[in-house]
Amino acid sequence: MLFVPNKLLLEKAMAEGYAVGAFNTNNLETTRAIVRAARELDSPLILATSEGAINYAGINNLKTMAEIAAQESGLPISLHLDHGTSLEIVMRCIRHGWSSVMYDGSKLPFEENVANARQVVELAHLVGVSVEGELGRLVGVEDNISVTEREAAMTDPDQAQEFVKRTGVDALAVAIGNAHGFYKGEPQLDFIRLEQIRARVEVPLVLHGASGIPDEGIRRAVKIGVDKINIDTEVRAAFQKAVASFLAENPQVIDPRKILGPAIKAMSEVVKSKIELFGSVGKA
Ligand code: G3H
Ligand code: ZN
């Protein structure tokens, strides 16, 4: 297998006390920016592709771009399905050579999430593909909900233990107050809950929605034992800002290569700063 399964990357991270960054990509510029950053810092890497990214770019395009970037870099790189919500998309990615899949049944009732995740694990493990499950719901930053509702959506440590045992997932994504997109104000992460989950679960833990979490919060999460950290929004924002300011200054330029060049650099800088923060420099 060209790509490295998450299980291998994350077990090393767990043993050595750092986290591997999972960065979302949906085009050539982003893929190259992410891989360039990892190469400069000699870091392992997870290239994350959502169903939306696959629909946008086409599964063969995404795979081939990742494949060439991985080959040229010589780094241990995983090609990972992010937030897969059906067996169809999971199987499609496995068939196309992804080395890791996330089955996200977090919006389903517990028993249904367990049954589906178990099924994904049985199939994926036959061909050496790693599986990430999710328990607890990530509340959207826009959702106007009460503290009680927010707490109810968080991962229950006992249930997490049961979930991992019954499904056989290789990694578990947790909800501890983290959310996708930029946070309104300072994120309130429940680190005590994270410690309780860590104490009950043996597999690597995953933190989604890490854009906008202050560096101190990320360091604390890694110290407690988060082994994979997902970043998307901050990379997108760097892309948007670079393109917008380039066009504002150079409205006459129509060459996409000139317009997108600064965006690649800006995205790469964000990825590099995250890799440094996660502690995976030199761990390739
Ligand atoms: O699965 C993707 C991540 O959880 C990204 O979250 O966009 O808040 O960085 P973010
Ligand atoms: Zn996510």
Instruction: Give catalytic status of residue 227 as yes or no.
Output: no
Separation of CA 209 and ligand 2 centre (Å): 6
How remote is the CA of residue 232 from the centroid of ligand 1, in Å? 5
Ligand 1 centroid to 273 CA: how many Å?
A: 16
**Is residue 43 one of the residues assigned to a domain?**
yes
Q: Of the ligands numbered here, which is closest to the C-alpha atom of 48?
A: 1
The mean per-residue pLDDT over the stretch 174-195 comes to: 94
pLDDT band at 148 (very low <50, low <70, confident <90, very high): confident
Residue 33 has pLDDT above 90, yes or no: yes
Could you tell me if residue 110 is inside a domain?
yes
Q: Token pair of 182, please?
A: 């930029």
89 annotated as a binding-site residue = no
What is the spatial distance between Cα 237 and Cα 150, in angstroms, rounded to a whole number?
A: 26
The pLDDT of 48-75, averaged and rounded, is 97
Owning domain of residue 251: 6-278
| 231 annotated to bind ligand | yes
Distances (CA, A) of 229 to 22, 150, 250, 253, 284: 6, 21, 36, 37, 16
Q: Which two tokens stand for residue 279?
A: 């502690």
pLDDT of residue 151: 78
- Ligand 1 centroid to residue 151 C-alpha, Å: 20
Please identify which residue in the block is written with the tokens 């309104």.
184
Q: What pLDDT does residue 1 have? A: 55
How many other C-beta atoms can be found within 10 angstroms of the C-beta atom of residue 269? 15
Surrounding residues of ion ligand 2, Cβ less than 5 A: 208, 230
Nearest atom (ligand 1) to Cα of 236: 7
238-255 pLDDT, tens digit per residue, is: 999 999 999 999 999 999
59 found inside a domain: yes
Atom of ligand 1 nearest to the CA of 102: 1
112-123 residue pLDDT tens: 999 999 999 999
Cβ–Cβ under 8 Å, residues 77 and 46: yes
In a domain, 237, yes or no: yes
Helix 233-249 and helix 256-278: axis angle, to 10°? 150
Starting from the CA of residue 137, give the closest ligand: 2
CA distance 1 to 76: 11
pLDDT tens by residue, 188-235? 999 999 999 999 999 999 999 999 999 999 999 999 999 999 999 999
SS3 111: helix
Which atom of ligand 1 is nearest to 178's Cα? 8
Q: What mean pLDDT is predicted for residues 56-67?
A: 98
Least confident of 109-118, 125-134, 150-159: 150-159
> What is the rounded CA–CA span in Å between residue 248 and residue 244?
6
Cα three-residue angle 18-234-271, rounded to 5 degrees? 45
Residue 238: inside a domain, yes or no?
A: yes
The reply to whether 83 sits in an annotated binding site is yes
Q: 26-35, 162-171, 178-187 — which is least confidently predicted?
A: 178-187
Q: What tokens does 224 get? A: 């407690």
Most distant CA atoms of the chain, gap in Å: 59
- Is 283 part of a structural domain of the chain? no
- Indicate which CATH number applies to the domain containing 268: 3.20.20.70
User: For 154, which DSSP code?
Assistant: S
User: pLDDT at residue 94 above 80?
Assistant: yes
pLDDT at site 143:
59
How many folded domains does the chain comprise? 1
Average pLDDT along the chain = 96
| 80 marked among binding-site residues | no
Tell me which residue of 266, 278, 159 sits closest to 213, measured CA to CA: 278
Q: What is the pLDDT of residue 224?
A: 98
Asked if residue 239 is part of any domain, the answer here is yes
Per-residue confidence at 185, pLDDT binned at 50, 70, 90?
Answer: confident
Nearest CA to ligand 1 atom 2: 230
CA of 277 to the centre of ligand 1 (A): 16
> Is 84 within any annotated ligand binding site?
no
Pocket of ligand 1 (CB under 6 A): 24, 82-83, 180-181, 208-211, 230-233
pLDDT band for 2, please (50, 70, 90 cuts).
confident
Q: Is 1 part of any domain? A: no
- Residue from 42, 82, 156, 158 carrying the catalytic annotation: 82
Closest-lying ligand 1 atom to the alpha carbon of residue 182: 8
